[in-house]
Amino acid sequence: MELRRVVITGLGPITPIGSGKEKFWKALAAGESGVDLVTRFDTSECKTKIAAEIKDFDPQDYGIGPKEAKRMDLFTQYGVAAAVLAVEDAGLNLGEQHNDRAGAIIGTGIGGLMTLEEEKKKLIESQNPSRVSPFLIPMLMPNAINAYVSIRHKLSGSSPCMANACATGSYALIYAAKDIALGDLDIALAGGSEAVITQLAASSFANMKALSRNNEDPKGACRPFDMERTGFVIGEGAGVLVLESLEHALERNAHIYCEIVGYATNTDAFHITAPDPESRLVKKAIIDSLKMAGAEPKDVDYINAHGTSTWLNDKAEAQAINEVFGDYRVPVGSTKSLVGHLIGAAGSIEALTCALAIENQVIPPTINYETPDPESDLNIITELTQANLNVVMNNSFGFGGHNAVMVLKKYTG
């Protein structure tokens, strides 16, 4: 069976440095950080007091009315809003009829934790079970985004909900690409969303010593691959992309950002939070995605790394890249240095970044890389750099050992 070609035709970012592709790309290219002191909750007793919050989000800007918003957790609002942006950017006219050739494949790493905390607090303080919202369960559901997006845009095709920790966004894009390549869908709205800047989540991440405690210098706290890195910075937001079969995109004369030509997923089967120090399955995912793309390591013009700014993850990823690419010093960057770690939305925002990099033929900067780490020695791009980007790789790795690597290529016909 010959697989259909899959292209990206729409981009919908909701991020701490800007929402909508124009604002997001402008801030990204300028190296603007979205990290600051937390305003969402009282951090006086917290070890980590910084995060990458979205401070200008209004659900009504995306057609989510006040009544509907009250029945959605913030992660769902972000996902629905990102889908609206992606559909608009793609110029899709989905019509009023249900389309069983279109689906929503959008995931989340954690889900409606914010709602859970609020409702549990309400129950404890009131000691009255009747005070608990009847909408708690549908607000918690990880698949709530898929449901709302499908209802809004009349998408009746496959809509699985991915939940693969920090690799969720990439898993969603890969499985959407598979559905299109195999002929099950013509269109997919795919990606990830997350909103877990809460006291409970921040405390847990901090207590496992995963978060940076550089509270004195928020914008300098996320330092992927740098010798002085001290942990990741939690962020929030959503990234939804429109994927289409090439035939469908050409038929409607859509703008094509790039083509998805290779991908691979696998599992370390090593530890619930730590990466395999030998990076065996990460290397395999990189090699397998290149094989599917019909590309050699030397063909890759840029890697958007997972690059969390944690000691073990950066070291393991750098080792995998160096062992696969050998003497070729492939340019590498990490979007997380600017937007923080968006957990379930990380992979899709980073794939979106790759699409914009190909579109603009430039590599966006990685900030805060100042002291190279001999054990994580990579060719980190620290300034906006003009480049001939034909083949770009996106890496995503998540708690539980979930690995996802995707290869994007400039569309030339």
Contact 254, 9 (CB under 8 A): yes
Residue tagged active-site, from 153, 248, 306, 402: 306
Phi, psi of 49 (to 5 degrees): -120, 15
Residue tagged active-site, from 166, 222, 258, 354: 166
Composition of the chain by helix, strand, coil, percent to 5: 40, 20, 40
Helices first, then strands: H and E counts in the chain: 13, 15
Q: Is 306 tagged catalytic?
A: yes
Q: Is 271 tagged catalytic?
A: no
Contact 73, 195 (CB under 8 A): yes
Least Cα distance to 318 among 377, 263, 271 occurs for 377
- Burial track 304-327 (b if 16+ CB lie within 10 A, e otherwise): bbbbbbbbebbbbbbbbbbebbee
Give how far Cα 50 sits from Cα of 212, 229, 231, 315, Å. 8, 15, 12, 24
In whole angstroms, give the CA distance from residue 265 to residue 173: 11
User: CA angle 359-282-335, nearest 5°?
Assistant: 35
Residue tagged active-site, from 153, 222, 248, 341: 341
Strand partners, 50: 37
Give how far Cα 56 sits from Cα of 67, 73, 192, 251, Å. 19, 17, 20, 37
Catalytic residues: 166, 306, 341
